[in-house]
Amino acid sequence: MSYLSHDERRSELLHAAVRVLERDGLAAVTSRAVATEAGASPGLVHHRFASTSELAAEAWLAYVERERTAYELETPTPGRAALDAFFAPFADGDLAGLARWADAWRHAQSDERFAGAFAESYRALERSLAARLPGAGDRTAAASRLLLIAFGIAGAQRIDPGLLSEPGALMAGAIDRELATS
pLDDT digit string, tens, across residues 108-140: 999 999 999 999 999 999 999 999 999 878 999
Contact call for residues 124 and 64 (beta carbons, < 8 A)? yes
Distance (Å, whole) CA 166 – CA 84: 15
Residue 128 domain flag: yes
Chain length of the chain: 182
Question: Domain range for residue 165?
Answer: 77-181
Contact call for residues 125 and 68 (beta carbons, < 8 A)? yes
Contact call for residues 149 and 171 (beta carbons, < 8 A)? yes
Residue 25 domain flag: no
pTM reported for the whole predicted model: 0.88
Least confident of 3-12, 38-47, 141-150: 3-12
More confident residue, 153 or 98: 153
pLDDT given for residue 65 in this prediction: 96
Provide the domain count of the chain. 1
**Residue 25: is its pLDDT beyond 70?**
yes
Residue 53 domain flag: no
Distance (Å, whole) CA 175 – CA 121: 21
Type of residue numbered 70: A
Average pLDDT (142-167) is 89
pLDDT given for residue 18 in this prediction: 97
pLDDT given for residue 51 in this prediction: 93
Residue 154 domain flag: yes
Average pLDDT (13-28) is 95
Residue 21 domain flag: no
Average pLDDT (62-76) is 93
Residue 157 domain flag: yes
- Range 109-133 burial, b when 16+ CB lie within 10 A, else e: eebebbeebbeebbeebbebbbebb
In this prediction, residue 31 has a pLDDT band, given cuts at 50, 70 and 90, of very high
- Best CA proximity match to 140, nearest among 129, 152, 124: 129
**Residue 1: is its pLDDT beyond 70?**
no
Contact call for residues 71 and 128 (beta carbons, < 8 A)? yes
DSSP character at residue 172: H
pLDDT given for residue 129 in this prediction: 95
For 8, residues 6+ apart whose C-beta sits below 8 A from its C-beta are none
More confident residue, 36 or 96: 36
Distance (Å, whole) CA 100 – CA 151: 10
Residue 10 domain flag: no
More confident residue, 93 or 162: 162
Q: How far apart are the first and last CA of the chain?
A: 55
Q: pLDDT averaged over the chain?
A: 90
Residue 153 domain flag: yes
**Residue 94: is its pLDDT beyond 80?**
no
